[in-house]
Amino acid sequence: MINGKILVTDGMDIETLQKELGDCFHVDYRPGIRQEELEQACQGVDAIIVKPRVRLDKGLLERAGIKFIGVAGNGTDNIDLAFAKEKGIDVRNMPGESVDSVAEYTLTVLGVMARNIIRAHQSLKGMKWEKDLLIGSQLKGRTLGVLGMGKIGRAVALRADRGLGMQVVGYDPYVKQGDIDGFECRMIEGLGDFLGEADFISVHVPLIEETRNLIGSGEIGKMREGVVIVNVSRAQLFEKEALIAGLRSGKIRGYVTDVHYQEPVGDEDRELIGLENVICTPHIGAQTREAQRSLAEKLAKLVIERLGNQ
Ligand code: NAD
């Protein structure tokens, strides 16, 4: 017996999802569905599974008969949560499933930046031998600033301390020194003081009203000369023009970003990602087989709990 219809709007481990949901649900798998097609696709749908790309605003939620929203990730800034609550729509995100994958991405790109791997790769592909120009730095002993010491921030801090021998400092108004356990990380109270101590800054703050444009020109001014920033959280945490100015002046030596002002990427990001010292990826922090399988299993379980399997 079919218990309901589920719309899946983005690429995910559909085999696992189908396997877990068995014959009880009709799954409409529409990876990459356009925003303007969404409302039509939501007709007769009981549950929707989305990624941050898709916006579920008040108008759409009001007209659709959705009972459950499963977020294949952590961030819920693409959903009108207040209205969903008012309408009794159950919204569940998956805060823990991608922690290791996102932390590993972060550590990977720290190494890539410290050793100029992208430039070295491009130069050699161009049949150049620029060995003498490619002096990097070790990570051991350098200071990593972790902005946002939640699940991913702590997973990054642990690996940077234990695995790489970096000095780790943290900034998070809601995490105290006593909350840190199992690795070395000195929590710093002021954002400005924190920014001034780090050679590398890794950003793991959710996008909420309070954190939009958290980093502007004033904050960039407080950073170390030649700082490298990794943003695997949300683009909008940075004031775009200030970030571009910081990158053009060389104050910021490099910016690695997995997240963009417009996703899928468009004109809003053209200038930023066109800069030579920006390295970018298309929101792949959680795109590992392990994280995607785990997400699909958990989401299927929640759908069954919410909509039943009889
Ligand atoms: P989390 O909720 O466990 O941690 C977020 C931390 O940020 C919390 O400790 C919170 O206190 C802190 N914070 C809030 N406001 C702050 C501020 N003003 N300054 C400093 N810290 C502040 O979340 P998480 O699981 O660690 O994920 C962090 C973010 O990573 C998510 O919100 C999401 O945007 C992003 N993310 C990206 C990907 C990807 O594929 N690129 C995947 C998963 C998560």
pLDDT in tens, 186-207: 999 999 999 999 999 999 999 9
pLDDT band at 149 (very low <50, low <70, confident <90, very high): very high
Q: Is 156 in the pocket of ligand 1 (CB under 6 A)?
A: no
Catalytic residue among 104, 184, 263, 290: 263
pLDDT in tens, 47-73: 999 998 899 999 999 999 999 999 998
- Asked about 276 being catalytic, the answer comes back as no
Which residue's CA is minimally distant from atom 34 of ligand 1? 233
Which residue's CA is minimally distant from atom 9 of ligand 1? 150
Catalytic residue among 142, 154, 204, 234: 234
- Asked about 263 being catalytic, the answer comes back as yes
CB atoms within 10 A of CB 229: 26
Q: Walk me through the domains of the chain, giving residue ranges and CATH numbers.
A: 4-95+289-307 (3.40.50.720), 99-280 (3.40.50.720)
Position 73 scores a pLDDT of 86
pLDDT of 309 above 60: no
Mutate to test the pocket of ligand 1, among 109, 179, 205, 294 (most ligand atoms within 8 A of CB): 205
Q: How far is the CA of 214 from the centre of ligand 1 (A)?
A: 13
Residue 201's φ and ψ, nearest 5 degrees, are -125, 130
Q: How far is the CA of 144 from the centre of ligand 1 (A)?
A: 17
Q: How far is the CA of 150 from the centre of ligand 1 (A)?
A: 6
Residue 179's φ and ψ, nearest 5 degrees, are -80, -15
Q: How many CA atoms lie within 13 A of 252 on its CB side?
A: 30
Position 89 scores a pLDDT of 96
